[in-house]
A and B are shown apart, each in its own frame.
Chain A
Amino acid sequence: EPEVTQTPSHQVTQMGQEVILRCVPISNHLYFYWYRQILGQKVEFLVSFYNNEISEKSEIFDDQFSVERPDGSNFTLKIRSTKLEDSAMYFCASSEEGGRDYEQYFGPGTRLTVT
Chain B
Amino acid sequence: QQPVQSPQAVILREGEDAVINCSSSKALYSVHWYRQKHGEAPVFLMILLKGGEQKGHEKISASFNEKKQQSSLYLTASQLSYSGTYFCGSRGDDYKLSFGAGTTVTVRA
Q: Find chain A residues with CB under 8 A from B109 CB.
A: none
The chain B residue with its CB closest to the CB of A102 is B47
Q: How large is the interface on A (under 10, 10 to 19, 20 to 34, 35 or more residues)?
A: 20 to 34
CB pair A101 B99 closer than 8 Å: no
Chain A 79-109 interface residues, beta-carbon cutoff 8 Å to B: 91, 98, 100-109
**Neighbouring A residues of B47 by C-beta, 8 Å:** 101-103
Interface 1/0s, chain B 65-109, versus A by CB < 8 A? 000000000000000000000010001001111111110000000
Give how many B residues have a beta carbon under 8 Å from the other chain's beta carbons: 26
Expressed in whole angstroms, the minimum distance between the Cβ of B23 and any Cβ of chain A is 15
Are B101 and A42 closer than 8 Å at their CB atoms?
yes
Whether A44 and B99, one on each chain, are in contact in the complex, defined by CB atoms closer than 8 angstroms, is: yes
**B43-72 vs A: 1/0 string, CB under 8 Å?**
110010100010100000000000000000
Chain A residue with Cβ nearest B36:
A43
Q: How far is the CB of A103 from chain B (nearest CB, A)?
A: 4
Closest CB in chain B relative to A102 CB, distance in Å: 8
B43 x A106 contact (CB < 8 A): yes
A and B contact pairs by CB, cutoff 8 A, 24 listed = A31-B95, A42-B99, A43-B42, A45-B98, A48-B96, A56-B94, A56-B96, A58-B96, A91-B41, A98-B95, A100-B30, A100-B49, A101-B29, A101-B47, A101-B49, A101-B53, A103-B32, A103-B44, A103-B55, A106-B41, A106-B43, A108-B40, A108-B41, A109-B41
Given contacts A42-B102, A101-B55, 19 further A-B contacts (CB under 8 A): A33-B97, A41-B101, A42-B99, A42-B100, A43-B34, A44-B99, A56-B95, A56-B96, A91-B41, A98-B95, A100-B49, A100-B91, A101-B53, A103-B44, A103-B55, A104-B44, A105-B44, A106-B42, A108-B41
